[in-house]
Amino acid sequence: MADARLLLDWRNDTQTRANSRQHGLVVWHAHLDWLATVLCDPARELLIAELNGVAVGTVRLDTREDDTVLSWTVAPEHRGKGLGRRMVELAVDRVPHRRLTAEIAIGNERSMAIAKAAGFQLDHSAGDMMVWLRPRLTGSARGGESLAHGGD
């Protein structure tokens, strides 16, 4: 729970909300409830990306029966530096045996580029969201950066 404030700040950032299915502001207590639920759920993994010891973003992996859903956010002050691409690549490498799904808002050019680079392909659109899929592939370990569990 140590990362709760950071994660809420990133979630309530204007650009994050614009690119989310739910556009509204999340209040502190609702966020804490949500975070506690995620951290207790073995089917969900909430990771914090760190660069030189500084938290720069988050990736969540939600495991369903047939696939794993990936979602990601980069800290506002660290966007546009290639970190989103790197952290999603690292996350994908953790689950090479899984079929992956990512939901991306139409017009979110950066996330589309990230998804393409990580091997996703556009499958279909639903409302203002696109569903991108990545088949099971083998991954390779990458050095340097790290992804740690949120709350660690």
Ligand X SMILES: CC(C)(COP(=O)(O)OP(=O)(O)OC[C@H]1O[C@@H](n2cnc3c(N)ncnc32)[C@H](O)[C@@H]1OP(=O)(O)O)[C@@H](O)C(=O)NCCC(=O)NCCS
Q: Which residues of this chain interact with ligand X, rule CB under 6 A? A: 15-16, 19, 71-74, 79-85, 104, 108-111, 113-114, 117
Taking the least distance from each CB to ligand X, the nearer of 16 and 63 is: 16
* Residue whose tokens read 């990771």: 47
DSSP state of 133: E
In whole angstroms, how close is the CB of 43 to ligand X at the nearest point?
Answer: 20
50 and 82 Cβ atoms separated by less than 8 Å? no
Q: How far apart are CA 134 and CA 73, in angstroms?
A: 19
In whole angstroms, how close is the CB of 96 to ligand X at the nearest point?
Answer: 20
In whole angstroms, how close is the CB of 50 to ligand X at the nearest point?
Answer: 14
Taking the least distance from each CB to ligand X, the nearer of 36 and 113 is: 113
Taking the least distance from each CB to ligand X, the nearer of 42 and 129 is: 129
Burial class (CB in 10 A: 0-12, 13-18, 19+), 146: middle
* Residue whose tokens read 């660690």: 152
